[in-house]
Amino acid sequence: MTIFIGADHRGVELKNQILEYLHEKNIRTEDLGPYELVALDDAADYSKKVSQAVLQNPENHLGIVICGSGCAVSMAANRIKGIRCGLAMSPLQATHIRENDHANVLALASEYNTFEEIQRIIDAFLATTPKKEEKYLRRIEKLDK
């Protein structure tokens, strides 16, 4: 599995911390930028890059997108057909969006959680498998149309 990650200027520092954290756990990642602070960048650009990368192999790729609130990156990612991006502010919420909603991109808020909380959110998201019962698959099919 590969985790693609991107952030806007408000999330670039957290992105770099997450990359280091995931590398320490031997989780394959790909940094889609920015590679330095770009004060006037746009969250939508990085959400699009991450989303397109995830869709190259949806069975084996997940994404993480970051901005200050987590909302701009989530809204931008969800405009890409086949992406189901959810903002998680807690491990329980991360488990829910992955398990029930089949989220394939996790949105994070750089300004509302500590790094320790972010680690637990990511761990929960990555440890969770989407449910395969008919009711969940039916709901996902409706979203993907």
Q: What is the mean pLDDT of the chain?
A: 96
**Res. 105 pLDDT band, cuts 50 70 90:** very high
Extract the tokens encoding 104: 């394939």
Is the pLDDT at 144 greater than 80? The verdict is no
Residue located via tokens 């969940």: 136
**Averaged over 109-118, what is the pLDDT?**
97
| pLDDT above 80 (res 1) | yes
Structural domain boundaries in the chain: 2-144
* Backbone φ, ψ for residue 133 (5° rounding): -60, 155
Cβ neighbours, 10 Å, residue 122: 23
Which residues on adjacent β-strands are paired with residue 85? 105
Q: What is the mean pLDDT of residues 86-113?
A: 98
pLDDT value, residue 130: 97
Q: What is the pLDDT of residues 45-98, one digit of tens each?
A: 999 999 999 999 999 999 999 999 999 999 999 999 999 999 999 999 999 999
Tokens 């509302």, located at residue? 112
* Contact (CB, 8 A) for 32 and 5: yes
Neighbours of 85 (CB within 10 A): 27
Is residue 42's pLDDT more than 80?
yes
Superfamily of chain region 2-144: Sugar-phosphate isomerase, RpiB/LacA/LacB (3.40.1400.10)
Please give the average per-residue pLDDT across 8-16, as a whole number: 96
Hey, what amino acid is at 70?
G
Under the banding of pLDDT at 50, 70 and 90, the label for residue 113 is very high
